[in-house]
Structure formats: structure tokens, C-alpha cells
Structure 1
């Protein structure tokens, strides 16, 4: 399977936080079809890919991405059949209303719904200029009563809800449009990196990981880091592009400018020696790279770098416009360069190099 098809499948998959089953299925099938080694998942839906050639005596490189997407969960069913819901992950109130979603039924089917928006005809002048909070919003699935929602639609509280968006690719401009690029682009990058390294003679053992529930507190990574016990790690991310709203001097994550390596966010001060190694290697090989310092945000690098006595971690981010909303744009070349950079880094890692970080 080529990279674009893999990204399409992963983007279209429904994988709310804690309900990443479809992503797990796609990743495990890819790993098996490409003979990447043994693959398994745990009860939290974290996926582990371990190449058969891992000797068990070399330093361990953890190549990580999170498999969940910003999503919602049904909290209550109102008497009129609409669904009250909570956010899973960081949503802006402005981006949620009037969008189409999919709601999972108790027996595993998916029902179309709309985040209801009051018609302008019924809004006062003050209401027209106000944005409702998520607590004020409901999802309408076409039901007319609580009983119909539960007995006919078979939807109950605790049901996951995801944006309903279909992946597109504009070949002439090399631009992808879809949902969940944070972080299905990272998931694809983990799988492609493992594939590209399959026949390499490495100075390290590599373990590919898809961690669950990142959007609600990096929860999966607290498990995967303790299972893998890495000596060093690379985390792939779909990172928020800033090139359509920041002044030129402050643009640090532009689409079509290559992968972004983050020095700092709320979860981690990136190991400066490993960071410098990656940036200099990218420039040496002609791989475009960007750098950022962020006042907010966080990644699985947070829990991973604090494990196993301290772990050097870098973030390789694919720029995504309009992250944490229903739709995003990303460039295929940025994705390919992210994978290439990770592969070239790992090919140069050994015990001595890792200790120098």
C-alpha cells in the first residue's frame, strides 16, 4: 500500500479518544501485510510493532504517534431525542456548530448527525453575535424523542462521536484535505518509517508505537513508555500550521516548508543535543526543516522524556492547517520529508551517539 492510500484510510477511520479500534485494525493489517514484525495491541488500544530482527541487546528507539482524534462523547439524551455531549480534546466553540458528525450505536453502527445550530430567524440581535458554548449545543440525529433515540437508533450515553469528513487529495498542488490529520499523519509516518527501515542493518532496536488517548492527557503514552522502555524516542505529530494568520517573522510551521521540530511547549523542553543533531542532519541532507517554540500545546514527548531514567525525545511535526477542527490541509511533500528525516536519523543512531545526547 502506498503512503497516500494509507493516509486516506487512516484519516477516514473513526477513532475518538478511547475508541481507536478502526485505526488499530488498519495499522495491524498494514504491519502484517508489509511483514514489519510482530504486532499487538493492549486493552487501552495501544499498538506495538516489533521487528523480528530486534536483537534485544541494542539501545531501543521508540517511534511514536497517537492514534486518537479530537472528538466528542454523548453525555445525555434530551426528551426531544437530541444528544448533549462533551468534547474529547481541545475544541474551539466557534468551530463546532453546524458540522456533520457520526455517532456510534450500541451495536457498532455509525449514524449521521448534525451539531444543531438555531436558525437565524429565531435569534435575537444579541444572540446573532454570540457564540454558544459546547455545553449549550446538541447533536441532532433526526430523532423526535428520547425513546426513539434509544430504541430505534440504538444510541445511548457514552457513545463516541467523530467529525464526518472524507479525505481528498489535490494531486496538482500536492495538498491533502481531511479530518484527524492530528495525528493520523503521524500514525502513517510510524508505519512508513518501520517499512523503510525493515531491511536496514541498524545500531539500534526499533519499536513502532501508536499510543491512544493523547488528546485527553497523553494517557496512552504513559503506558507505552513503560512497556517499551526506550533509550531514545521520535514522536510524529500533526502540528498546527501558523502560516495563514501569523505575521511573516513569526511563522514557524508553514505548510510546504518541511517538517517542524519543536524546541519547547507546555509538555517538554526538547533535548537540545538530539534536537541539534536532527536539525543539522536535515540541512546536511537537503531535507527542509522548520523550528518552533510554542507557548501552548503538548505531545506524547512529555511523558516519554520523563521515563526510563530520562529519554532524549524529538518531535517531528507535519504542518496541518486548521488543526483541532473538522477539516485540515496538509502537504504530501511535508509528510514524505518527515518520514525521510526520521529514517535517516535512526540509521545513524547507536549506543555512543545516544549517550552523547
Structure 2
């Protein structure tokens, strides 16, 4: 490959995956592969040498699904005044589509998105970046789809401060499901909270268990303490 081409992203039309096809080995017949089939990196979950750090594919947004399950377990025996809908949405990356239909069905009074926030603590980035492993829960203050409800954000920060939950403020160029949830009906106060994650949208991504637990503890406290007066 010429040196100048090495610096360019390849055109998608030039990309292919070699599955070992040959004249007498047809992939459609032997492997049941058809045009349009999705593909994913083959990555195994791994607890790294640092026992607080977990590696896997698609933490964005499997980590959000895991948080919903753990939140449900935390709320089973807990007393709180709220009716809680836990929704695993689809197609967030291509237009927040699942969140839009889910919010229409639920018509919530308030909404939270549990997702990842994008770490900047890797070589080639700012070594003083706020968004890094071990920084605690990432509370979104801005993205291209939404500015969070100010009073809701302050309520969440006060809860975290009172309960010694580590958090930081974050912003992204993209958007979270809250970008469409907050537009439901006459408007819904929303906030996105993220687990810091390295190498988002790659074959391997990394999170900190401590950060995950900070987000879980925070969202659990939010549900327990939210009421009409707040």
C-alpha cells in the first residue's frame, strides 16, 4: 500500500471479510452467510490485571443494561414513592429511535439515560482530562441534543455530595437518549449519567467497577428520593 493511502480511511466499498470461501466452499451454503447479515468483533469479557478494570466489547451500552438490572435488584425491597419504568432502548446510535417510541408509550414525568461517557485519559489526549477511569459518575451538562434540566441536575449533585458519591461533569459532541425523551409531549425534565469508558465503539472497551458502582448508587438514591415536592 502506498504511504499516502495508509493515512486515509478506506472506502466502505473496498472493505471485505475473508471467510475462507473457495470454488467448492460456498459461504451461503456452508456457513449460512447471507448479504446484509450483521457482524461483530469476537471479544471475551475479561477482568484485567487491575481487578477494578473490566474489558469487553459494547460497554456502550451494555453497561446501561447492567445498571438497569442492578437498579431493579436494589429497588425490590426499597420503599420509594415512584413508578419506575426501566427501558432498554434500541437504535440510539442511528437517531434515538427506541427512546422516542418508548417515551411516547410511557409518557414519563422525568427521564434519565444511563450510558457511558467517553474517557480522554489515553495517549494522544489531554493528560489532565476530567473524563477518565476512576472519576466516578459522569453527569452530563451539555450535548448536541439537549441541555439538562438545571434543577434536576442540582438535585442529583446534592444527593451525590451528601452521600459521598464521586462524580464529575461531562459533555459530548453526540447525544444520549435524553435528547428525544425531553421532547415528549409538553416536555420532560431529563438528565444523562454515564460510566467513564475507554475506546468506545471499538472491538474492546474498558470501564472501572468503582465508577460503575458510583453510578449505580447514585441512580438508586435518585429513585428513592425523588418525589413531587422535588
Asked whether the two chains share a fold, i.e. TM above 0.5, the reply is yes
Aligned to 1:352: 229
CA distance in 2 between partners of 1:290 and 1:146 (Å): 58
**Larger RCO (CA within 8 A; separation ≥ 6):** 2
Aligned to 2:98: 220
1:301 matched to 2:185: no
1:209 to 1:145, Cα distance in 2 relative to 1, 3 A: farther
CA distance in 2 between partners of 1:335 and 1:301 (Å): 20
Aligned to 1:37: none
1:181 matched to 2:56: no
Measured after TM superposition, the shift of residue 142 of structure 1 is 1.4
1:322 to 1:172, Cα distance in 2 relative to 1, 3 A: closer
1:228 to 1:158, Cα distance in 2 relative to 1, 3 A: same
SS of the residue 1:268 aligns to: coil
For structure 2, which runs of at least 5 residues remain unmatched after alignment?
A: none
Counterpart among 45, 54, 78 of residue 200 in structure 1: 78
Write the mapping of 1:96-115 to structure 2, written as runs, cut at 5 A.
none
Counterpart among 323, 341, 353 of residue 200 in structure 2: 323
| Structure 1 vs Structure 2 CA RMSD | 1.8
* Structure 1 residues 52-80: Cα deviation after superposition (integer angstroms, max 9, x where no partner): xxxxxxxxxxxxxxxxxxxxxxxxxxxxx
SS of the residue 2:80 aligns to: coil
Aligned to 1:11: none
Measured after TM superposition, the shift of residue 201 of structure 1 is 1.6
Is the CA contact (8 Å cut-off) linking 2:119 and 2:132 kept in structure 1? yes
Measured after TM superposition, the shift of residue 171 of structure 1 is 6.3
For structure 1, which runs of at least 5 residues remain unmatched after alignment?
A: 1-122
Q: TM-score of the superposition, structure 2-length normalised?
A: 0.93
* Structure 1 residues 205-226: Cα deviation after superposition (integer angstroms, max 9, x where no partner): 1111101111111111111111
1:164 matched to 2:42: yes
Aligned to 2:2: 124
SS of the residue 2:40 aligns to: strand
Aligned to 1:111: none
